[in-house]
A and B are shown apart, each in its own frame.
Chain A
Amino acid sequence: MLQTMARELAPLHQGDPIKAATREAYGKALLELGEEMPDLCVLDADLSGSTKTKAFGQAYPERFFNCGVAEANMMGIAAGLASMGKTVFASSFAMFATGKAWEQVRQSIAVPQFNVKVAATHAGLTVGEDGKSHQMLEDITLMRVIPGMRVLVPADAVEARLAIRAAAENEGPFYVRLSRASTPVVFGEDYKFELGKGAVLRDGGDVAIIACGIEVGMALAAAEELAQSGIEARVIAMASIKPIDADLITEAARDCGCVLTAEEHQIRGGLGSAVAEVLATRAPVPMAFCGMDDEFGQSGDAWDLISHYGLDGPGLAASARALVEAKNS
């Protein structure tokens, strides 16, 4: 089944170089799922053009509800719909879906384990010019900590489409983190996404770089740069942050002897923390964390910001190099 889906992804691969935003893939996935699942409802909070739920709203107006600028209420409505047997996707920007409505997501969705998928776009620094009020850098932490909440951060449009499908097909609450910016497609058409599994995109034995979201592409760029100075980096895409692929992480730590994590998110509580939780008990090795170090973002061009905070290819390569040196000294 997954293979058929992967084949359906073909249209995303047209044009060169292949770039797409994960939010675009979300919009397309909703259209497919709408046809397959008559009970699927989609909610938005006055951002349907940006989150890409609009196309679903046009195709299935009777199953689309624009709740207005009222995210907490939207999550409550999502919970109510789910309690009556609907599968619900609820969307807004990551800041408002998880920040404004965290308590409603916890109490009304996660506590009763309702079938609600919070699919949030415009996560991280790459919203760019809107600045810190819109740059959500704490959402992985906020969602990961809620019991029973699954957390997915796809790396590209291919993986996003599959992650959305996995969320739809698995009962219970999910958080899917999506981006505004277009990023290179790193997965091939034959990629199979599996809940709780990471994917090794490049092999290497000197350092493992575990990344999610747009940082997967950056990790691949860093690995390329590191190879030129003889450092072989293993690059792992870890979209499934919860449940996490503890075996793959442990194996990488044992093989490489050190692990770098990279995420467009606060260091505290995000992917890096999730990886550290695994390694602290199973295979302690030297670690380093690329992410936001306890500060808010700011306005600016999305990719300038990524470089400024050391989250581009060269930034990750520098952190990896320092980590390898520390390991060897």
Chain B
Amino acid sequence: MTLTDQQRDEIRAAANTVRQDSVRMTNAATCGHPGGPMGMADFMSTLFLAHLNLNAENRHDPERDRFILGNGHTCAGLYSLLAQKGLFPSESLLEFRKFGSPLQGHPHRNLDLGIDMSTGSLGNGLSVGAGMALAAKQNNWETRVYVASSDGESQEGQIWEAATAAAHYGLSNLTVMVDFNNIQIDGVMREVMDVRDLREKYAAFGWHAVDIDGHDIDAVDGALCAAKEETTRPSAIICHTTIGKGVSFMEDKAAWHGVAPNDEQAQEALAELGA
């Protein structure tokens, strides 16, 4: 299965909205993490629009697909996509990180909004995804479990405990998408603590693992389709991305990991994104 032209247009538009929302939301909150979700926008939009079986109608269906944002700090992008899929009105996005808003600074499980898991502490997500995938297998459900992770999160030992277990249990219904932008808080990942070749590592742990350009939506779609063909192994898609993608002054800069654009920067960023 390949994407139709219409699907491609829709995914590109959704990804651009994710980027604009990441800028608007963090600007309104005067804090948060805009860079990560902008880099993840293309693969996340492909997942949410073309693969993840979650929408306003089936949100409470126990057999629907699950999604866990292991790198929880990038939740502006998750919230944008959930709003775009109609799980809540997009006006709520500007309440991000504010007192009383369900759109917490890091995801808090809320099935009404389609948020399957509380995250924010790096390293925890993939294990929970493995547990969900195990239960789905036990129940003979078609449910697929998707977990987003990152190069920085791959430094946590628990990721590799989860990788061992998921392969051991043959969780072919589990897919991890790793945002590999070579950036973490303290700088360039290769310099801070090099995780080296994640595709090779996941493969050595017994996973079906591929490297792709995380901004190439056809490559993302192809990798997600291939993951569904696996019958005995979990799949790892290492998505090579650029943090802050789409805004020239934000691209590839660790500084945009966790700093909100001020009004002037937000205006400039939104102009570059064609808003």
Contacts and interface: CB of A to CB of B under 8 A. Distances in A.
Pair from one complex = yes
Interface of A: 44, 46-50, 54, 66-70, 72-73, 95-96, 99-100, 128-134, 298-301, 304-305, 308
Contact of B101 (A48, A54, A96, A299): A299
A129 B121 contact: no
Interface string B220-236: 00000000000000000
A114 B155 CA distance: 25
B185 A47 contact: yes
Contact of B120 (A128, A134, A305): A134
Nearest to B32: A129
B95 to A, nearest CB: 10
B108 A70 contact: no
A300 B98 CA distance: 5
Given A131-B120, A299-B104, A68 B99 contact: no
B144 interface: no
A68 B184 contact: yes
A46 B184 contact: yes
20 contacts: A44-B186, A46-B186, A46-B192, A66-B193, A68-B152, A68-B184, A69-B123, A69-B193, A70-B155, A95-B121, A99-B121, A100-B123, A129-B29, A129-B105, A130-B105, A131-B104, A131-B106, A132-B118, A134-B106, A299-B104
Nearest to B153: A69
Given A46-B185, A96-B121, A132-B108, A70 B193 contact: yes
Interface in B98-119: 98-101, 104-106, 108, 118-119
B122 interface: yes
Contacts of B157: 70, 72-73
B31 interface: yes
B98 A299 contact: yes
A124 to B, nearest CB: 15
Nearest to B118: A133
Nearest to A57: B186
B97 interface: yes
A99 B156 CA distance: 14
Given A47-B185, A129-B31, A69 B104 contact: no
Nearest to A308: B99
Most buried by A among B100, B101, B193: B193
B105 A131 contact: yes
B206 interface: no
Interface in B62-107: 72, 97-101, 104-106
Contacts of B29: 129
B98 A69 contact: no
B99 A300 contact: yes
A305 B98 CA distance: 11
Contacts of A134: 105-106, 120
Given A47-B185, A69-B152, A298 B106 contact: no
Nearest to B120: A133
Contacts of A49: 185-186
B108 A69 contact: no
B99 A301 contact: yes
Given A69-B123, A96-B121, 17 more contacts: A66-B193, A68-B152, A69-B122, A69-B155, A69-B156, A69-B193, A70-B156, A70-B157, A95-B121, A129-B29, A129-B32, A129-B105, A131-B104, A132-B120, A133-B72, A133-B119, A299-B105
A322 B97 CA distance: 34
B106 A130 contact: yes
A301 B101 CA distance: 12
A210 B87 CA distance: 47
A95 B152 CA distance: 17
B88 to A, nearest CB: 16
A131 B108 contact: yes
B84 to A, nearest CB: 22
Interface in B171-188: 184-186
Nearest to B151: A69
Contacts of B104: 131-132, 298-299
Interface in B30-83: 31-32, 72
A128 B123 CA distance: 22
Contacts of B155: 46, 68-70
A305 B32 CA distance: 18
Contacts of A66: 186, 192-193
A205 B32 CA distance: 46
Interface in B114-170: 118-123, 152-153, 155-157
A100 B120 CA distance: 12
A308 to B, nearest CB: 7
A93 to B, nearest CB: 9
9 closest A-B pairs by CB: A133-B120, A68-B193, A300-B99, A68-B155, A131-B105, A129-B97, A131-B104, A133-B106, A69-B155
A44 B122 CA distance: 15
